[in-house]
Amino acid sequence: MRQLFRKKSIELIHRDAEAGFSEGEGAGTGKLLKELGALDLTAFGIAAIVGAGIFSTIGNAAFSGGPAVVFLFLFTAIACGFSALCYAEFAARIPVSGSAYTYAYASFGELIAWIIGWDLLMEYAIGNIAVAISWSDYFTGLMAGYGLRIPEYLTMDFVTASRGMERITELLATGASLTELQSRPELFGALEAYRAWTTAPLFGSFHFVCDLPALLITIAITAIVFFGIRESKRASNVLVGLKILVILLVIILGAFFVNPANWQPFAPNGASGVLKGISGVFFAYIGFDAISTTAEECKNPQRDLPRGMIAALVVCTILYAGVALVLTGMVHHSKLQVGDPLAFVFGPAGANMPWLAGVIAISAVIAMTTVLLVFQLGQPRIWMAMSRDGLLPPIFSAIHPKYRTPWFSTILTGLAVAVPAQFMNLTEVTDLTSIGTLFAFVLVSGGVLFLDREQGTGRFQVPYVSGKYLVPGLLAVVAGSVLWTQPDAVRAFFVFDAEWASRIPMAFYLVLALVMGVLSFRKSLSLIPVLGVLTCGYLMTELGATNWFRFGLWLAVGLICYFLYGVRKSKLGILHGLHGPV
């Protein structure tokens, strides 16, 4: 059993990376190309963080939380900041591709490394699919704004069209007419799906419905990533520059239309209203995780990776906070439950600047393109790292001799996004992606506590502040505040009723908080990593029992794969004579 938790030393991780790929199907293909500097890494982080969050989900978050949603962005940034510092220390100590997977291998051992690697595969795969579909929606809307309407059956996944057809057919069977249904706003999406299904070409009995824009953008981005890190870097830098200019333009021009009366009351729905938007907001903040996957392509990773991660987080938090204040100041928060809030506030309901609304629409498409680019860049490198350790077949770590990219993993990533995007309805993917990312952040933060402080020391280390008294004190203050302000909610927590399952994640978190408080007092644990564990762990409890259940199922499938293949093929296990040769 102990072999499952055998750690891979930092020295061995470095040696494997330096050796390149000299065995198996990756033989003779060399190493990745070192092209990235601190500015490039910062751009990659901004590229991934500033996307649908600032152009879409910020509207729903503001609708629920009011102007106080700015505190949600700040709190999320702080929670991510604790983890970002831990990522930065790992990146400085272990400047190797693999992100949280590689860091977990060094701090927790092989089984936990597999779990987090499998988790990251879900995070990136589902996140990429969601981004591709979102990009398609933005692009379709942009084309419609210019009078170029793409047929519905070419802009929608098969499942959505099928379900929309079924719903409208059922309503028509009750005697309602299509004209009557078209007057009901809540049926607009279903009607669009119905039109897609009924107008789609037929091949026998099969309705040809596909999301063509999602397919084409995935192919294009996969090609850029396949052909080299230099091409990916150039595309990212140019597109990030353009979208930052547009966001600054929005903030500056919007400031002239702010009505301070719209900020009253500042938190109309209290803390619960603010936290309601946590999944959509946090989904926007996961970009700095992708930066660490490019470690082997950095010119000076020990210096530039920490700089790039922290700089990206700071810049994006400022942009998000500025946009949130301007949006809620220009238009009352009750009107912001729209899919395109930035374009909305500069339309007839707000500043009435249609030219800027058009610029924002173009910028939204650009923003989503950069998000997809960085996510498509990250996933193949995690597969590559897992394959190099023997936990996945050798072909996953094959490097193209000309383009110096993990070619097989890159192509597979493209297929894993393009194909499901044609058939899947992903209305809840932001929650599932967020829980996976938060899990990675918790493990990375906790992993720093397990590191030998002298081993593999890099240029950056998380500043040590003793949590001996601070952590128990903070937990006591928070617990006292909750007991004082919400005694009814505390009593209801211990009642076994129909809602008991939804409280299970919080019960686990309370146990985690108690354990961290005791360990901090007994072992004087470092404050920042502990706060990373506690804040990200709390955010996980806000994502609901259903997502925890789905997440658990995914990890269970991963464990089956590990025990069927990975545990027998692990190079670390073979090195220590734990099982036979590959």
Domain of 401, CATH number, reads 1.20.1740.10
Neighbours of 341 (CB within 10 A): 29
200 lies in the same domain as 250: no
For 224, 231, 374, the CA distances from 54, given in Å and listed in that order, are: 25, 26, 17
- Predicted pLDDT of residue 364: 83
466 phi/psi in degrees, rounded to 5: -65, 130
Same-domain pairing of 198 and 266: no
Highest mean pLDDT among 164-168, 216-220, 253-257, 388-392: 216-220
Q: Rounded to the nearest 5 degrees, what angle is found at the Cα of 287, between the Cα atoms of 405 and 540?
A: 125
Residue 2 pLDDT grade (very low, low, confident, very high; cuts 50, 70, 90) = low
Considering the domain architecture, whether residues 411 and 485 belong to the same structural domain is answered as no
Q: What is the DSSP letter of 202?
A: E
- Indicate if the pLDDT at residue 283 is higher than 70: no
Higher pLDDT, 491 or 475: 475
Same domain flag for 195 and 262: no
| pLDDT tens for each residue of 284-326 | 666 677 888 888 888 888 888 888 888 988 898 899 889 889 8
Q: Are residues 509 and 399 in the same domain?
A: no
Q: Total domain count for the chain?
A: 3
Please tell me the distance from the alpha carbon of residue 416 to that of residue 125, in angstroms, as a whole number. Answer: 7
Q: Is residue 370 part of a domain?
A: yes
190 to each of 156, 181, 509, 544, how far by Cα in Å? Answer: 11, 10, 39, 26
**Structural domain range at position 162:** 158-209
H helices within 452-566, ranges in order?
Answer: 470-485, 487-493, 504-523, 527-541, 545-561
CA distance 301 to 455: 17
- pTM passes above 0.75: yes
Q: Are 355 and 217 spatial neighbours (Cβ–Cβ below 8 Å)?
A: no
Among 144, 178, 209, the domain-final residue is: 209
Determine how many CB atoms are found less than 10 A away from the CB of residue 415.
12
In-domain check, residue 556: yes
Taking the CA of residue 532 as centre, how many other CA atoms within 13 Å lie in the half-sphere pointing to its CB? Answer: 28
| 416 shares its domain with 503 | no
What does the pLDDT read at residue 409? 92
Overall average pLDDT of the 266-279 stretch: 75
**Could you tell me which residues are beta bridge partners of residue 36?**
298
Residue 214 in any domain: the answer is no
With a CB cutoff of 8 Å and minimum separation 6, the contacts of 541 are 505, 506, 508, 509
Residues 263 and 340 in one domain: yes
181 inside domain: yes
Looking at the fold, whether 200 and 262 belong to one and the same domain comes out as no
| Tokens 């926007």 -> residue | 284
Please choose, from the candidates 296, 300, 302, 287, the residue with its C-alpha nearest in 3D space to the C-alpha of residue 399: 296
What tokens were used for 56? 């879409």
246 & 365 share domain: yes
At residue 512 the predicted structure's pLDDT band, cuts being 50, 70 and 90, is very high
Instruction: Inform me whether the pLDDT recorded for 457 exceeds 70.
Output: no
Burial of 515 (0-12, 13-18, 19+ CB in 10 A): exposed
Residue 96: is its pLDDT beyond 90?
no
Based on the domain organization, do 121 and 180 belong to the same domain?
no
**So what's the pLDDT on residue 23?**
42
146 belongs to a structural domain:
no
Same domain for 55 and 188, yes or no, is no
Supply the mean pLDDT for the chain.
Answer: 83
Q: Is residue 134 part of a domain?
A: no
> Residue 560's pLDDT band (boundaries 50, 70, 90)?
very high
Query: Could you tell me which residue, 282 or 99, shows the higher pLDDT?
Result: 99
Q: Which tokens is 45 given? A: 């982080």
Q: What is the pLDDT of residue 21?
A: 45
Amino acid occupying residue 181: L
The domain boundary, picked from 447, 481, 511, lies at 447
DSSP class of 206: E
Q: What is the mean pLDDT of residues 40-68?
A: 82
Confidence of residue 579 (pLDDT cuts 50, 70, 90): low
Residue spans of alpha helices (H) in 256-393: 270-275, 278-284, 287-291, 301-330, 341-345, 354-388
User: Within a domain: residue 143?
Assistant: no
**Average pLDDT, integer, range 549-554:** 86
Start-to-end C-alpha separation, the chain:
20
Omega prior to 265 cis, within 30 of 0? yes
| DSSP designation for 460 | -
Instruction: Indicate if 272 and 402 belong to the same structural domain.
Output: yes
Examine residue 260 and say whether the peptide bond preceding it is cis (omega within 30 degrees of 0). Answer: no
CA–CA separation, 56 vs 137, rounded Å?
A: 11
Report if residue 463 sits inside a domain.
Answer: no
Least confident of 13-27, 102-116, 402-416, 548-562: 13-27
Please state the φ and ψ torsions of residue 203, each to the nearest 5 degrees.
Answer: -120, 90
Percent of the chain with pLDDT over 70: 89
